[in-house]
Structure 1
């Protein structure tokens, strides 16, 4: 339906378009993407666009083609693991940012040209930027945006019969298959690599299905023991025994490659659940299993069936229930686990049948113990169409327990939950990181808890105590929770990276090795290979993995592939030069102060809450302003308040100065790329000039506006106003020297250095790196100091005060004439002083002013209206003007003209009783 809609539009309507990488890489979507011009392209999980060996995968080929073609679009690639241990794979993504690299060599050979420290170093903070969760908290935002993540290993003491089941699974996967290799070499005549691949697949099936749940074990192991499998099926179709064996072997090899990618964590291309894939595979092993193997499988199935029948306690399921009680029924928790209480829980399993098994059992538990069946839901490929309903349910209030699989959960962000349970062993670090990342992400307001469940016997105990302890640092015994859960619990706290404890170095992260040296052999790392290596020797695997990790760290540091860790001072300094603000909190505080200033101007009540500001106006209207970001505050102001375009403001000051509010434009290649407001202050006495930006600018405006008089027209200060063009030119030079040199010009210089290094490697220039054009435009608002206003040229006594009107009226009449208006004095018979009109060529009135003239002997900015004048001003609104006249009896008087003063000025009513003495003669 979506595709049909998109196909109907040759040019898509403007807006944001969001789609998964694996959907958009398809040919029918690629053609739609190609037809449209894009302003920006943002790719999340960008590490999925890369190489397989030296050949690009389909995502890089198809989406990369669009990216390279739309060179004018802003491109942002996002990844938590940008480097997977292969230089050419990493550089293939760099080449999407800078396609000119592909003009030097093909994508598979980029490492032969650009895998050099000098090149990598020049990419830092130009096309490659890096920050981790601690950087966000401690450097950029200065608050705890990302809470910690607690990884827990729960070692569950199994029942006696469960221990027998675990031992059987381990024996089948390790001892039996070890003997089986020699048997197959003797009986099949196949090459060693083919046999190893088939046995690795069988080992994976046995371990992953056997250790998932009794439901999964019964289903798959029953298929393994069936004597009427794929081999018999092929014989019945007319294949010879040799042909049937060869065909099955080829099918298993093909499945092995497919599952390898699927199990490693890259599941976006596949719709089938893992148990469906495994069950299809199980029937293909019928020819290769002897009677002793089948007997062991059957004995294991019998134990699992007894667990399902309730004859044997399912220890892992019961421990899961105790964890849920801890979340929803425990009133007293240790301080570091307070965020467990009342949290929302995600239970991840690799298999759909295990998910249904858990769903059935937990529904019964929730109804009995919580009195709420709606607390538990399942999300698999079967009900993927319900994703929006699941999201809404998860975001709601109350107990929430979601059971899901990786295939269904792909792309489902789960930050509303803060408790994750991995029901089976998560063998792949990539898969584990993906799962944690769905919960421990931006928007998570609680500490995250990741429970990894292990039955403390045989293979599972070894994985917990060796692999999870060493790789993820889960080694701190947690005695506080053990009495509540009833099992041994171990803890580690993660600040940034999943593997930071193994690495013992938090300065470098964002990668997971893809190959390692194991017993003098180079081994490509996949989940099936991890299982194989761990079953051979968990300790040797961990040592090899950590060695590969540290080797990769050394290489990344030596080649300077990643930017170095950021320093708070440097970041704030750079931001200050680029934006005028040192950090987001400074910008937020400035925006908040604007709201406070507005409330003061309009005499509104203000109520501040954690996430919003409420303005209560005099008419009862309430304006709700979100504090999500500075932008949301400014947007709310523009949406809720009328824009008043008064150009001049006069503020109280003893200094002869001027302040102009303007806008600077920075143009690159004749296109304006950046604008920001700037203030220019000029002191006419000291001849000093200053440019104001960001925080300082808003603070200055707040200071000026609280003591300023808004004025529509100014007459008589031309000597100062005429200097504004020269002041603006001088300010432009100051801005370039004091601000842009350490901001935008510094970035351009670093781009130039990047292009110079690339040129040495035969690369063609791609990024624009000429100096931009920087221009401060004509000021939009002018603030004039009251010190610029003239005082009256004479001192008048109280007895002749009324005569000052006679001195001011001619000044006003002259001004009106200069502006092409016809003015007449009406103060003798009206409650105002001058009526002025402007006519068009046909004599029709196009502008009419009712003017109240106020004479100012000093430099005061106060404005007073009598009751009759106030009522008239309110009635006439935009037709009513106040002219403040300064400097009567001087050679250069000044007029400040204010339109609609009732709207512009916050008048306060004052009632006074005046005592007057009069002397008169009566003949």
Structure 2
């Protein structure tokens, strides 16, 4: 059916190129709903060749999905075939899962130690290669990878490519910076970490044409990078500026303070005194911080503060191994210097900026830090005296007693029960596998095994077990609690849960932010609660007062209330517009010091509450200075809501996802009605204003999102549409307007040096011609017109004379081309401004081959997709009032046009109107086809044809050989001819009282 073919071709073009439709991925294992900030990125970059940019959205805004949607589009269009994705090792699984979700299954290849030889032998055939960034930076892997002609390289957590690091030199400069025409997508939620040169160095990788030796740390440069090199949006932006509704729910941090037992008071007092004494003794003797001993005290502190079980594991291991390592030192099998070097490595990794840093450093060991820390703690037991050994034994004994009446664990269990009664799902996080096992076993005893799952490296290491646990937590209503380590859950998006409980205290705001991001993200439907449990002991209170009330609550409202359990709850409202910043260094006393959890813990153990407070004050001052720099230099984009909305509408044809959904829902209803007329047994109904499809004998299907609506439109169109297209479809619709709609495919093309044209973008564009003139229609307006045409479908024109006069043709084609040129200008304006102004400032070499560029890119008006004629009863009434002389003249003109049409078609035609009850007898000398033609002429655009009783009898008798030629607009400069075969079969017939037969559109 022609009306279905027009719609199908339009939707096919949208699916390939329109930024909204790019997200309606029917083969996706889980539906992807397009959000405006993602659509904006796709729209602003849709003409870029090469595409080289950084997606720097906050945690939870769907950066991975955005990148993969763009990648899938480029893959489907044949732009990229060899794809390299470099990520921290801990994220490899997540990326593979998301690639599978997008339908890349059979193309995914993993670069690992056990696959590299085969991949090299195979020659790295087309596909999507996923690898740990720290594996690829090593030899010989880097040399193998560097030789491949990659079409695109995607790097997640790109802030890890710090200036002057091996990652930067090899992965950044070696694979991306050295290939300026290669596509590259960078991702990072923390692109700027306090060092402008570090940040700019990564922008230089993306744009190698930035000239060296230029100071780019200024507002002019940063402003020009917005929406060109960097895209940065926050949760507040999405809610207030993009969607105008609460996409991201509210989130509150609650620090819950619970009372401590006598054993817990003694345990923490003895622990702090012991560790502080060890650090102070060394510092007084040597005059500097001991790396190995400093790390030992920090890890004992963290493990002992995590859970009594983790404390016992570490302390008992140290006591058991101390004698063995002392012998190794005495026999000089190992040196203290080796311990110091190892301590630096562990401190940088495990106590670094985020909990997953160590997994890349320790590529060969277990994912969890427990093993590394316990092994190192055992080595460092040589620093302990006999008296220290006694203290450790006392601490271990106290930990054992505490485990029998653990205040923190009791509080967590009560909290979990309270949240389960509210119908929530809960994640309990710990850094350590030992603590996860301890909490998991206790919760299983309390709630039963069906209610609790565990996620540690043991589960992650088994693919089937991992998928089973994740699916169980997401889908099983009985499974309500997950107890997980940070590293095992990294990359998991767990929006099904709305509560996070930090079992031990995270000293780093970044770690807290990452945990929040597991649940407070796109798709979360409930307000999020983040609990951290504090015991009423001195060190917990110090951390609560200094780190939580000051550092984490920066600029946010803080309150106190009675908690569900415990003594009190200090809550922090996370709706603040401040974006957490990830610092590399802290300025203190005119000196710069590396910022990490290790730094904070060491400061606390050395100088107590006062020293920790001074350090936090220095961190806050540094963050405030950085925020001021970000604001003053306009480093991240400021978003204007009005301009944003206008850009989206101008560049896509749609206002937002809701409008796309509304149009698709209307289209679905339209094609359902059309399918029913064609015999497809489908019904539909509404439930609470939501469309429901009902197949006979099937389950009702609710249409609740644009993906589902689009899926069923495509299925129905496949049933309705012809497999082969013989000509441009022309349909007539009976409506309350009189207009012609010509639908063209317009494209923006890149012309290479050889003159070959590569399509950057295509779009269906309608030109509506009515009494007011010519008008471009597109997007939602075009689809709504097509809905009207299908709903009021009258008939399909089998043949027609598409013969606009030269002026009209030129105007139509010019309008479509001008639309394409203007679209290119709107999409590319920021990109053109960036290249032009930086070249004028002499900060950038203008000699690049990047597109879009006015010298190499232009709009092209492509093929005609279809013609829709809207006709009304008004025009038919006008025709009936025409005087007989004018009527005769119109009929003669219509006959001449029809005879001429037959002649041009190679058929032999004669006028028989004076002796037969039809007007023209036509015969094709080549095929022998005979046509019995009735001609009806109209002064205006009416498409009604009235037949006498005798004429109707001939039409009935001749059947498929009978043709009705309607020639309309006869009295204009641009008469049109439409030919309908067997009109009795293909048009609606109304019998008039005077027994004439009137063929007219369905009404």
Per the normalisation by structure 1, the TM-score is 0.79
Q: What is the CA deviation profile of residues 386-432 of structure 1, one whole-angstrom value per residue up to 9, with x for unaligned ones?
A: 32222222221213322221232232332332221111111122222
Instruction: Return the match for 2:640 from 549, 555, 567.
Output: 567
**Inter-CA distance 770–487: structure 2 relative to 1 (3 Å threshold):** same
**Inter-CA distance 890–461: structure 2 relative to 1 (3 Å threshold):** closer
**Inter-CA distance 741–767: structure 2 relative to 1 (3 Å threshold):** closer
Q: What is the CA deviation profile of residues 504-550 of structure 1, one whole-angstrom value per residue up to 9, with x for unaligned ones?
A: xx3x6363222223355421102210212344333222211111100
Alpha-carbon shift at residue 555 of structure 1 (Å): 1.9
621-630 vs 521-530, which deviates more? 621-630
Instruction: Return the match for 1:361 from 442, 457, 469.
Output: 442
User: What residue number does 1:45 align with?
Assistant: 157
- Are the equivalent residues in 1 in contact too, given 2:505–2:532 (CA < 8 A)? yes
Query: Is 1:532 matched up with 2:602?
Result: yes
**Inter-CA distance 806–747: structure 2 relative to 1 (3 Å threshold):** closer
**Inter-CA distance 849–21: structure 2 relative to 1 (3 Å threshold):** farther
647-656 vs 726-735, which deviates more? 647-656
Q: What is the CA deviation profile of residues 612-637 of structure 1, one whole-angstrom value per residue up to 9, with x for unaligned ones?
A: 85555899999986734587677556
Q: What is the CA deviation profile of residues 350-397 of structure 1, one whole-angstrom value per residue up to 9, with x for unaligned ones?
A: 111111111221111122xxxxx1222222222322322222222212
Mapping of residues 74-473 of structure 1, within 5 Å: 74-101=183-210, 104-105=211-212, 113-183=215-285, 185=286, 192-193=287-288, 195-226=289-320, 228-229=322-323, 231-235=325-329, 238-239=331-332, 244-261=335-352, 265-269=356-360, 270=362, 271-272=365-366, 273-308=368-403, 310=404, 313-328=405-420, 330=421, 341-367=422-448, 373-384=449-460, 385=462, 386-398=465-477, 399-473=479-553
User: What residue number does 2:809 align with?
Assistant: 725
User: What residue number does 1:370 align with?
Assistant: none
Q: What is the CA deviation profile of residues 260-291 of structure 1, one whole-angstrom value per residue up to 9, with x for unaligned ones?
A: 44865424414432121111112223332223
Query: Is 1:677 matched up with 2:760?
Result: no
In 1: Cα distance, 2:512 partner to 2:352 partner: 15
**Inter-CA distance 20–825: structure 2 relative to 1 (3 Å threshold):** farther
Instruction: Return the match for 2:836 from 734, 748, 753.
Output: 753
Alpha-carbon shift at residue 47 of structure 1 (Å): 1.8
Q: What is the CA deviation profile of residues 657-695 of structure 1, one whole-angstrom value per residue up to 9, with x for unaligned ones?
A: 644222322224443212222222345x77x44323333
User: What residue number does 1:690 align with?
Assistant: 775
**Inter-CA distance 76–813: structure 2 relative to 1 (3 Å threshold):** same
In 2: Cα distance, 1:740 partner to 1:348 partner: 49
User: What residue number does 1:774 align with?
Assistant: 859
**Inter-CA distance 235–67: structure 2 relative to 1 (3 Å threshold):** closer
In 1: Cα distance, 2:206 partner to 2:905 partner: 58
**Inter-CA distance 205–116: structure 2 relative to 1 (3 Å threshold):** same
In 1: Cα distance, 2:470 partner to 2:374 partner: 30
In 2: Cα distance, 1:717 partner to 1:343 partner: 64
In 2: Cα distance, 1:620 partner to 1:172 partner: 71
In 1: Cα distance, 2:400 partner to 2:281 partner: 28
Alpha-carbon shift at residue 123 of structure 1 (Å): 1.0
In 1: Cα distance, 2:178 partner to 2:651 partner: 30
- Are the equivalent residues in 1 in contact too, given 2:922–2:931 (CA < 8 A)? yes
Alpha-carbon shift at residue 766 of structure 1 (Å): 6.3
387-396 vs 856-865, which deviates more? 856-865
User: What residue number does 2:6 align with?
Assistant: none
**Inter-CA distance 220–881: structure 2 relative to 1 (3 Å threshold):** farther
Q: Which secondary structure state, in structure 2, belongs to the residue aligned with residue 211 of structure 1?
A: helix
In 2: Cα distance, 1:723 partner to 1:709 partner: 30
In 2: Cα distance, 1:59 partner to 1:904 partner: 69
Alpha-carbon shift at residue 881 of structure 1 (Å): 5.3
Per the normalisation by structure 2, the TM-score is 0.74
User: What residue number does 2:574 align with?
Assistant: 494
Unaligned ranges ≥5, structure 2 = 1-108, 753-757, 997-1003
In 1: Cα distance, 2:951 partner to 2:431 partner: 81
User: What residue number does 2:19 align with?
Assistant: none
In 1: Cα distance, 2:663 partner to 2:138 partner: 47
Alpha-carbon shift at residue 349 of structure 1 (Å): 1.0
In 2: Cα distance, 1:180 partner to 1:199 partner: 8
Instruction: Return the match for 2:620 from 546, 553, 565.
Output: 546
- Are the equivalent residues in 2 in contact too, given 1:682–1:727 (CA < 8 A)? no
**Inter-CA distance 766–233: structure 2 relative to 1 (3 Å threshold):** farther
- Matched residue count: 847
In 2: Cα distance, 1:627 partner to 1:677 partner: 23
Q: What is the CA deviation profile of residues 679-732 of structure 1, one whole-angstrom value per residue up to 9, with x for unaligned ones?
A: 22345x77x4432333333344445665565543666774x4544431134315
Alpha-carbon shift at residue 230 of structure 1 (Å): 5.1
- Are the equivalent residues in 1 in contact too, given 2:683–2:694 (CA < 8 A)? yes
In 2: Cα distance, 1:407 partner to 1:157 partner: 30
Mapping of residues 573-584 of structure 1, within 5 Å: 573-584=646-657
- Are the equivalent residues in 2 in contact too, given 1:265–1:431 (CA < 8 A)? no
Unaligned ranges ≥5, structure 1 = 186-191, 331-340, 368-372, 501-505, 917-923
**Inter-CA distance 836–532: structure 2 relative to 1 (3 Å threshold):** farther
In 1: Cα distance, 2:395 partner to 2:948 partner: 100
- Are the equivalent residues in 2 in contact too, given 1:327–1:342 (CA < 8 A)? yes
- Are the equivalent residues in 2 in contact too, given 1:10–1:35 (CA < 8 A)? no
**Inter-CA distance 694–204: structure 2 relative to 1 (3 Å threshold):** same
In 1: Cα distance, 2:706 partner to 2:934 partner: 47
In 1: Cα distance, 2:544 partner to 2:126 partner: 53
Q: What is the CA deviation profile of residues 853-907 of structure 1, one whole-angstrom value per residue up to 9, with x for unaligned ones?
A: 47467864357999999999999999875443569999998642135769976x5
In 1: Cα distance, 2:124 partner to 2:985 partner: 46
Whose RCO is larger (CA < 8 A, sep 6+)? 2
Q: What is the CA deviation profile of residues 825-868 of structure 1, one whole-angstrom value per residue up to 9, with x for unaligned ones?
A: 9999x99998866465xxx56xx576674746786435799999
777-786 vs 80-89, which deviates more? 777-786
User: What residue number does 1:514 align with?
Assistant: 584
In 1: Cα distance, 2:955 partner to 2:273 partner: 97
In 1: Cα distance, 2:958 partner to 2:595 partner: 82
**Inter-CA distance 167–888: structure 2 relative to 1 (3 Å threshold):** closer
- Are the equivalent residues in 1 in contact too, given 2:767–2:775 (CA < 8 A)? yes
**Inter-CA distance 470–890: structure 2 relative to 1 (3 Å threshold):** closer
**Inter-CA distance 876–656: structure 2 relative to 1 (3 Å threshold):** closer
Query: Is 1:12 matched up with 2:128?
Result: no
RMSD: 4.6
Q: What is the CA deviation profile of residues 776-809 of structure 1, one whole-angstrom value per residue up to 9, with x for unaligned ones?
A: 3354333456599995898689xx99xx999999
User: What residue number does 1:606 align with?
Assistant: 684
